[in-house]
Chain A
Amino acid sequence: DQQVKQNSPSLSVQEGRISILNCDYTNSMFDYFLWYKKYPAEGPTFLISISSIKDKNEDGRFTVFLNKSAKHLSLHIVPSQPGDSAVYFCAASAGYGGSQGNLIFGKGTKLSVKP
């Protein structure tokens, strides 16, 4: 049973607009969430994270929102740029700051930003 779900395999947005990538989780023990970005033929790279004690974390154009009651998080990219085109993975772990459990990844969402 999937504990971390990214229900949209792909998303296409226009350059300059907002991209919203969604992620749902089922395990209420998860308390640390991360987003990774992956280009073809490269390894995933860390993008942004959020602890369950927060509901928002912002880093430049990237903001992650966490809704614990809905077990839902989202990644907002504003404004979207063609270089943001990649596969985005949501990941979660349990234990304080992710120190106790292994990361569980979603299946990924392929974002295409069109000029």
Chain B
Amino acid sequence: DAGITQSPRHKVTETGTPVTLRCHQTENHRYMYWYRQDPGHGLRLIHYSYGVKDTDKGEVSDGYSVSRSKTEDFLLTLESATSSQTSVYFCAISPGRSMNTEAFFGQGTRLTVV
């Protein structure tokens, strides 16, 4: 299995509380991504990172922030969770910008905001 771990795997939180999801890799890949998957929407990119402290927004970045202080860790933070952020979140890693056979997704974090 590819060395990518998401934590926690499941979380229930209340509206208005901060939440941080963690993605940890052992592949030393340069690129890391956060996606969300919702019924009827497929996967949508939230933020991505192309190196330590280098991040950029994806198509659905509002309400989310990220940080990457180490190559192996990419954190996704919901500053004040809302019910619309109930989703399954996937982290992905890739050695280059092009997602190909060397890109891997984590197993996902199911987040429920009540």
- Interface residue ranges, A against B (CB under 8 Å): 4, 6, 32, 34, 36, 41-46, 49, 89, 91, 93, 95, 97-100, 102-108
Residue of A nearest to B40 (CB): A107
> What is the CB-to-nearest-CB distance from A94 to chain B, in angstroms, rounded to a whole number?
11
Q: How many A-B residue pairs have CB under 8 A?
A: 60
Contact A102-B43, Cβ < 8 Å, known A32-B98, A41-B107:
no
11 additional contacts, CB 8 Å, given A6-B42, A99-B98, A105-B42?
A: A41-B108, A42-B108, A43-B92, A43-B107, A45-B104, A49-B100, A89-B42, A91-B43, A98-B99, A102-B59, A107-B42
- Contacts of B103 on A, CB cut-off 8 Å? 46
- Contacts of B44 on A, CB cut-off 8 Å? 105
- Contacts of B43 on A, CB cut-off 8 Å? 44, 89, 91, 105
What is the interface size of chain B, counting residues whose CB is below 8 A from a CB of the partner? 23
> What is the CB-to-nearest-CB distance from B8 to chain A, in angstroms, rounded to a whole number?
14
Of A4, A34, A103, A106, most B-chain CB atoms within 10 Å: A103
Residue-wise, chain B 71-108 has the 8 Å CB interface mask toward A (1 for contact) of 00000000000000000001010001111110111111
- Interface residue ranges, B against A (CB under 8 Å): 40-45, 48, 58-59, 90, 92, 96-101, 103-108
What are 16 A-B residue pairs whose CB atoms fall within 8 Å in the complex? A34-B100, A36-B105, A43-B105, A43-B106, A44-B105, A46-B103, A46-B104, A89-B42, A97-B98, A98-B99, A99-B97, A100-B97, A103-B45, A104-B59, A105-B43, A108-B42
